[in-house]
Amino acid sequence: MKLKKGDKVIVIAGKHKGATGTVSEAFPAKDRVLIEGVNLQTKHEKARGTRKGKIVQRPTPLHVSNVMIVDPKSGTRSRIGFKRVDGKRVRISKKSNSEI
């Protein structure tokens, strides 16, 4: 999986198409990412002890095939590539060839 925590992404498919946000958590084993403020689901929490019950909105994971990284130069979506810089593997944006 080429996306990591902290990457700025745009949703390219599904109900939230066009929404942008940052990856708050990545699940490489399941090929899913959690994006802040996108794909929110309403959850009813039961009252427990002295705490009152409430309705909470939580983000749920999206599949990585439905998101693309935002190019740092142009601000549009782009694919991710790799190149070697000083013997280290670095992620680059395919659109502008700039380092991510």
Assign 100 a pLDDT band (cuts: 50, 70, 90): confident
Domains and CATH numbers, the chain: 8-70 (2.30.30.30)
Predicted TM-score (pTM) of the model is 0.83
Q: Distance between CA 82 and CA 89 in Å, rounded?
A: 6
Q: Is the pLDDT assigned to residue 26 strictly greater than 90?
A: yes
Sign of torsion over alpha carbons 20, 12, 84, 4: positive
Q: Distance between CA 62 and CA 22 in Å, rounded?
A: 12
Contact criterion met (CB below 8 Å) for 5 and 35: no
Assign 51 a pLDDT band (cuts: 50, 70, 90): very high
Q: Distance between CA 57 and CA 72 in Å, rounded?
A: 30
Proportion of the chain above pLDDT 90, given as a percent: 92
